[in-house]
Amino acid sequence: MEIAKVIINLLVGLVVFVTGMNLMSTGLKASAGRSIRKLFKKIKNNKIAAAGIGAGTTAIIQSSGATTVMVVGFLSAGALTFAQGFSVMLGAFLGTTVTGLLVSLSSFSFSMFLMAIAFIGFILGFFKNATVKSVGQILVGFGILFFGLEAMKSAFANEQVQGALVEMLSAISFPLLLMLIGAVLTAITQSSSATNGIVIVMVAANPSLLSSGLYLVIGATIGALMPTILAALTSNTLAKRVTYSTLICRALFALIATSIIWACSVPLVDWLNTIPQENVGLLLAVFTVIYNFIYIVLMLPLTKPVELLANKIFKDRDRERKQKSLKYINDNLLNTPSVAIIQVKKEIQSMLGMARANLFFGLDFVINQDLNKAKEVEDREETIDFINSEISDYLIKLSAKADINDEAFIGSYYHVINDIERIGDHAYNFLEMARKMKNEDLQFSDTAKREFDEFINILKEMFVVAEKSFMDGSKEDLLKLTELEKATDELKDKLAAAHFERIKKNECNNELSPFHSTLLSELERVADHLTNVGYSSDNPTGDEETHYQRMDE
């Protein structure tokens, strides 16, 4: 019966400890989260500064997982480079050792005073000021954390528990197995702070377990990456490269450190026996700091080689797939600029074809709400964005080598790919609109569908004329394009008025009005973009008004 009470006391202590840690972390994030995000955005190429930011951020929010997951988000958004993200992650694991140092304070008599801080935090929670409330939450979490530690400490002090732990850890005294247990326990709890807290309290209660505790906390540094790995699974290749490189480097360093400690176990144990019992918990906490500091010092100079190796191991399959969508341009053609300009024009024509396919798929989604090809549209939209970026970069290289007479063409192509990319965006907007309408069980009437078909038919003709004008520069095509564009303006007003009449006669659901209005506006913008594409053959900005001004002159 006594042992059952001790186990319950241990489990409750663990729950209270983790709850306090989460409360403190939440309060710290609320009070400093925005500043931390701004700091992340200002990271330059100084790897030491990046590691310092990672360590400071983790020390503040008390969660290496939160910091590294944040890094994954910035990597996915393209806001950080490999070196920056890797360096921040290196520092994050040093920052998390602050929790271990706090836990080690539980072996000192003033830990009771630290628990009393929770009451002060409780009082601050009644204030209306958000900052004061956040500070109160931090203090409550801080106090509760130590209350949980006291509960765990009393459980570990039990003779039966100590005997069971000594027997268990003696049975699995193999260092690599202990390291694995530390990694698995941390991966399950997704908190190296929790694992380190348990181990430090356990060792403080029974100093003979210190050597086992060293291997457990080393393993915890590997398991701590679990939240980051989960976040990286759905992120881009860069985020995966940084995350998996960090995992491999930490695992290798943990194996090396474990091997060294194992090889020196005899003199190490003799030295540990000379440490006063009350300082053993603090010693283990300091070890985690030294261990992570050495890791940072060794790994920072190796950031570039790690990046090169990661690029070879973790291929960007998505980029390779998109790269195949480039049919006409390559760097070899830059030596013959006149040929390269022709090939760029063909590549833009191919890009326009993708945007056209997506646009009419998107419109079909809205009109008929058949979303079977939604994934195809999403993939093609990513490809359009990729081609837009690649052509832009290619034009920069080309402009440095092209003849002065070709500069106007190169300048016009920038505007054209921007217009085509915007058409692709409108297509994706139609997909999102269709999803929302389907979720809300809304559908356009047969009359509205027929009206939209009229608009769609004009756009189909505009695609043909705009492409022909862009490729051939025919003035007759420009006049035709102008007529079609004016027809879309008139049709927009006509369809909007017709929809309003149906609303007044209760022939149409008023909830459809925002969708109807948005669809008309976006269709008109598509017509404008197509007009710009067509007029780019005559004017680099693709603006028909400038074209007519020049004709009048």
| pLDDT tens per residue, range 125-156 | 777 776 777 778 777 776 776 666 566 656 65
**Residue 418: predicted pLDDT:** 92
- Cα–Cα distance for residue pair 516/512, rounded to 1 Å: 6
Convert the pLDDT of each residue in 247-285 to its tens digit: 999 999 999 999 988 888 777 666 766 666 566 777 888
Report the percent of the chain where pLDDT is more than 70: 74
- Cα–Cα distance for residue pair 335/324, rounded to 1 Å: 22
Residue 23, token pair as written in the block: 């409360």
Convert the pLDDT of each residue in 472-485 to its tens digit: 877 777 889 999 99
- Cα–Cα distance for residue pair 539/411, rounded to 1 Å: 10
Distance of CA 336 to the CA centre of its chain: 41
**What is the pLDDT of the chain when averaged over all its residues?**
79
- Span 423-441, mean pLDDT? 90
**Residue 66: predicted pLDDT:** 64
Domain ranges of the chain: 2-314, 323-552
Report which DSSP code applies to 233.
T
Report the percent of the chain where pLDDT is more than 90: 22
Higher pLDDT, 436 or 163: 436
Report which DSSP code applies to 273.
T
Convert the pLDDT of each residue in 67-102 to its tens digit: 776 777 677 766 678 888 899 888 888 877 776 666
The yes/no answer on whether domain 323-552 falls in CATH 1.20.58.220 is: yes
**Residue 269: predicted pLDDT:** 63
**Residue 32: predicted pLDDT:** 47
- Cα–Cα distance for residue pair 460/439, rounded to 1 Å: 29
